[in-house]
Amino acid sequence: MFLKMLIKSFTRGMKRKILTIVTIAFGASLASAMLNVTLDVGDQVNKELKAYGANIHVLPKMDTLPLEIGGIDFNPLSDQQFINEADLPKLKMIFWANNILSFAPLLETTATIKGSEDIKIVGTWFDKKLVIPTGETINVGNTTLKPWWEIKGKWATDDTNEALVGQEVAKQLGITVGDKIDLTFENDNPPLNVQVTGILNSGDEADGQLFVSLSQLQQVLNMAGKVQRIEVSALTTPENDLSAKADEDPETMTSEDFEKWYCTAYVNAITYQIEEVIPGVEAKPIRQVAQSEGAILSKIELLMILLTVAALTSSTLGVSGLMTTKVLERSKEIGLMKALGAEDNQIIHLFLSEALINSIFGGLIGYFVGLGFSAIIAREVFGNSLTIKPLVFPLILLISIGVVVLGSLSAVRYMTKVEPAHVLHGR
Amino acid sequence: MALLEMKNVYKIYGNVNSLNDVSLSVEKGEWVAVMGPSGSGKSTMLNIIGCMDTPSKGEILIDNVTISSLSRKQLTEIRREKIGLVFQQFHLVPHLTAIENVMLAQYYHSMPDENEAKEALEQVGLTHRTNHLPSQLSGGEQQRVCIARALINYPALILADEPTGNLDEANKEIVVNLFKQLHKEGHTIIMVTHDPEIGSLAERRVILEHGKLKNDCPNLQKVEVLR
Amino acid sequence: MNKKMMLQKMILHALFKRKSRIAVALFAIAIGTAVIFSLLSVYLDINEKMSKELRAYGANLVIAPSDSGEPFLTEQQFNETLAVLENNVVGAAPYLYGVVNISNKQLVMVGTDFSEIEKISPYWKINGIWVSDKNLDGAIIGVTVAEKLKLNLGDQFSAISDTTGQKNTFTVKAIVKTGSTEDNQIFVNLVPFQNMLQLEGLMNVGYISASGEANFLTEKAKEISNQQPSLIAKPIKKIAQSEGIILEKIKSLVYLVVTVVLMSTILCVATTMMTIVLEREKEIGLKKALGAPNLSIVSEFLGEAILLGTCGALIGSFLGYLFAQIIGQSVFMEAISFKFSVFLIVIIASVFVTSIAALWPVRTVVSIEPAVVLKGE
């Protein structure tokens, strides 16, 4: 009989039931879209912030102080220490290997072109296909590391004599795309003949430099397999007290703290791990990028959390308000059931079962609609697909059941307190 | 000329004839009781006369106006001008006071007039309860508000659908007496009722069965006082 | 009493004599409006606020002498360029470089303005205290310098200029860590360093942190270069352009989120209104039976909806403004400005939505025969 009443109350007034379910579904879709986006926004924005370039510098441990002004090092090359190029793939073998998005080695020297002043020549990777020890192949280099680089012409290719010329150098020496130029080095190094494939506009000191393939430069300088430093771009977690503690000295931390720190993608945890796998180097967070990134990221996450709270509140109140009205609307029915001798519990039981069915339907529909919404947001804003967080699904069902049941419960309880005669006579 | 003229009226729902070839003529000042078992078409007939429903076939004239061919808007106008309705369920607007419920009918008809509404309530003996909400009134009082509301626009025709159906004996008597008084004052009343006692108060009894007019006879042994 | 007063009375009674239902509706409208109000306020402010936040990345414009001539610019020239940027300047620091000798080690010393550095480079991690403008012998040294020269906070060191041979003594007030070239440099106040190098009133470059998008900066940079041919102003592309990209992303993110919230909120409010009206089916039927023309029933419900919508929106705007402030304070540490346009939009939207939501069911009920509505008991 209970089942029959339940079914009847659904088949009857189907139109109004649909309205209820649609509202619950919309509330749930809102909640699910917001939760999906909020839970994912950290990763997504983090990737976007990679536009600011490398956030970690890897340098050889040095005895001397670099004498660098405006990007030009006044120390002679011979005094310097180097990192082995063969060690680079190890960057993708640290604990947080997946968070290492890109990196590029740099080897710098100066050269003259047609008797000009000294110009800084940088040997680097443009878009290098790298096989890492795990067997994977990845593309790294300045193409991915420096998204703000604007190239007139096209990018140079690795391991060829192609070169990119900074726009200031190009202007100064009248170099255009397609030119072949000779780089004359100090000491007895042989000259390097390069073909200019692109003029670089980067808006920083790179405009005054000339970029060639690393292997070519190593060859002429007789420095095979050596690089001076590595720029690394990594996805990181915003800093907090724990990472600040580790900043002082990770060795002084309790083993529990250390483990937690080591297994979180803090920038200093990543630099620590880089120093572990590549001996003789110093990995330094570039604070201008790393620190600001953390600041921006936590702002956006907080903003999204607040927006989610707002959205959840509004849909919760909307839905529970609706449920209250729906129950009040059926006061006559409740009065009648009471008049026929129904126990309060039986009435509550019936209404809650109905609410439960409504909320499950609404929640299910809402979850999938919300998935659609968040997919649209992910595509429109970040141009990539959404990572579906499995946590959201049970959460949405729980929230919608909770909201609907609570919304109905208060009204039903209120109604059962009313004398049946009053309700039936419309007082 | 008759106030109400029904000529061969049919109302068909699917393949059920709710009204089957009903012809009836009511003179001004008459009190007609429409009786019959439930489902016999009494309420349908009343709804059609009250311009709240339209016949499937046949012609109806109120005050020489053929209503069976009017548009809904025109029907609303006739209902407003010519007809006062009294319901078994009272149907008062729950959030308006007694006097406001009466004034509501004035509002739709012409102009709300508080004094006139007060008078109408006085007429049904509710002077002391003008500012009460329906929920604060007893069933009989609610029905009396309903009657006051039906009377307020001086309708040509008062239609009452089981006006005593929801009332206890004491209240029933008050309401019945009100109708008697209205009749005396010359109002035309068509009343649907189950109650033979009340039916016997009317001048004329019309009995419906399966949508057909079975009996239409003047009430010879008209009883002056109930019980 | 005239017709208008009766209408007013009916509407007011419908609102005040049905407290519980109206409370529910009002509540829904108010909360909905509050959410929309706060989100719109935040959305309209987000550009400015995020732009300020993104200044955390530091200078986005550099002023340098043009290639021809001396590698210096005067402080006066620098100040003139700042005038071009008007109040968009967040901070502007002069940089005068010089190579000095400390304990037989050559390194780079920079004369600058510390209070400006604090503004343009919030990412500097300082161990110690910032040097005040008046402290002529205070220095902030890079972390690598401190390591290599074994200098600690409070230590004194003397530096000899490579060019003039003049010797000055400085005290370490703080050690800075940035992960870039600053780690290898020593920073002192501009004036004593100018004296030491005998370059009074001069600097090598000026770093400016200015609010504004990449296009704006490019334009201003051109304007500065045109105005003072001996200078070159260059936006630091890495910062300026990335900022544009990030801002765009954040704006569109918030835009889409606001749209989604808006839609759902409107639907929630609308369905609540619809339910409340549907509940009064009988009342509508009765009024029709009493001879009410459709228009007057519609205008009654419309009046109710408008009143509800307005009241709800007023309460909602107030709550929404508060909520916007909570967001503003906790996310951006700043107030979100009150915008009259948002207030207007919210009121209009609320009235519009409640009216449509109320009239939709009225329309269906009105088209039913009153007998049918009154019958169903």
pLDDT of residue A65: 66
Q: Find chain A residues with C-beta within 8 A of B94's C-beta.
A: 426
Calpha distance A89→A134 (Å, rounded): 10
Which residues on neighbouring strands pair with residue B19, listed in sequence order? Answer: B11
Q: Which residue has the higher pLDDT, A334 or C60?
A: C60
Evaluate whether C238 touches C322 at the Cβ level (below 8 Å): no
pLDDT digits (tens, 9 = 90+) for C340-351: 889 999 999 899
Check residue C50 and give its pLDDT. Answer: 81
Interface ipTM > 0.90: no
Closest approach of C42 to chain B, Cα-based (Å): 41
> What integer best gives the mean pLDDT of chain A?
82
Residue B71 has pLDDT above 90, yes or no: no
Give SS3 for A228.
Answer: coil
A-chain CB neighbours of B135 within 8 Å are: 426-427
Three-class SS state of B58: strand
Confidence of residue C269 (pLDDT cuts 50, 70, 90): confident
How far are the Cα atoms of A205, C60, C219 from residue C216, in angstroms, in the given order? 21, 12, 5
In this predicted structure, what is the pLDDT of residue A426?
A: 46
Q: Is some CB atom of chain B closer than 8 A to the CB atom of C295? A: no
A22 touches chain C (CB under 8 A): yes
Lowest-pLDDT range, C9-13, C154-158, C330-334? Answer: C9-13
Tens digits of per-residue pLDDT, C137-190? 899 999 888 988 888 999 999 999 888 888 899 999 999 988 888 888 999 999
Among A residues 34-93, those touching chain C with beta carbons less than 8 Å apart: 34, 37, 41, 45, 48-49, 51-53, 56-57, 63-70, 74
CA distance C230 to C81: 12
Q: Percent of chain C, pLDDT > 70?
A: 97
Q: Where are the alpha helices (DSSP H) in chain B?
A: 42-49, 72-82, 98-109, 114-123, 139-151, 169-184, 196-199
Q: Which residues contact C64 (CB under 8 A, 6 or more apart)?
A: C73, C204, C205, C206, C231, C232, C234
Q: Which of residues 321-350 of A touch C (CB under 8 A)?
A: 321-322, 324-326, 328-329
CB contact under 8 A, B107 and C283: no
Inter-chain contact A426–B135, Cβ cutoff 8 Å? yes
Are the beta carbons of B85 and C375 separated by less than 8 Å?
A: no
Taking the CA of residue C57 and the nearest CA in chain A, the distance in Å comes to 6
CA atoms within 13 A on the CB side of C94: 25
pLDDT at position C314: 93
Cβ atoms of residues A353 and A4 within 8 Å: no
Per-residue pLDDT at C174: 93
Task: State which residue of chain B sits closest to A421, comparing Cα positions.
Answer: B135
Q: Is residue C179 less than 8 Å (CB to CB) from chain A?
A: yes
Please tell me the pTM assigned to this model.
Answer: 0.71
Alpha helices for chain C (secondary structure H): 3-16, 19-54, 75-85, 114-120, 143-149, 190-197, 214-227, 237-278, 281-289, 294-327, 340-366, 370-375
Q: What is the pLDDT of residues A356-378, one digit of tens each?
A: 888 888 889 989 988 888 888 88
State residue B219's pLDDT score: 65
Quick one: pLDDT at residue C136?
86
Residue A9 — very low, low, confident or very high, per pLDDT cuts 50/70/90?
low
Give residues with Cβ within 8 angstroms of C130, minimum separation 6. Answer: C114, C115, C118, C140, C173, C174
C43 touches chain A (CB under 8 A): no
Name the least confident of A84-93, A296-305, C368-377: C368-377
Separation CA A67–CA C162 (nearest Å) = 13
Q: Does A200 touch chain C (CB under 8 A)?
A: no
Mean pLDDT of A369-394: 82
Q: What share of chain C in percent tops pLDDT 90?
A: 18
The band of B227, judged by pLDDT with boundaries at 50, 70 and 90, is: very low
Chain A contacts of C143, Cβ < 8 Å?
none
More confident residue, A99 or A9: A99
Residues of chain A neighbouring B134 (CB-CB closer than 8 A): 426-427
Report, as an integer, the average pLDDT of A26-46: 82
Interface of chain B against chain A, CB under 8 Å? 94, 134-136, 139
Q: Answer whether residue B224 shows pLDDT above 50.
A: no
Contact assignment for C10 to B107 by CB distance below 8 Å: yes
Each residue of C90-136: pLDDT tens digit? Answer: 889 999 998 898 888 888 899 999 999 988 888 888 889 998 888 88
Q: Within an 8 Å CB–CB cutoff, is residue C371 touching chain B?
A: yes
Q: Which of B5-19, B110-124, C243-257 has the lowest mean pLDDT?
A: C243-257
- Residue predicted with more confidence, A383 or C350: C350
Closest partner residue to C331 among A299, A322, A325, by Cβ? A299
Task: Tell me if C35 and A314 make a contact (CB, 8 A cut-off).
Answer: yes
Length of chain C equals: 377
Cβ of B50 under 8 Å from any chain C Cβ? yes
Cβ-nearest to C107 among A67, A299, A306: A67
pLDDT, residue A69, reads 66
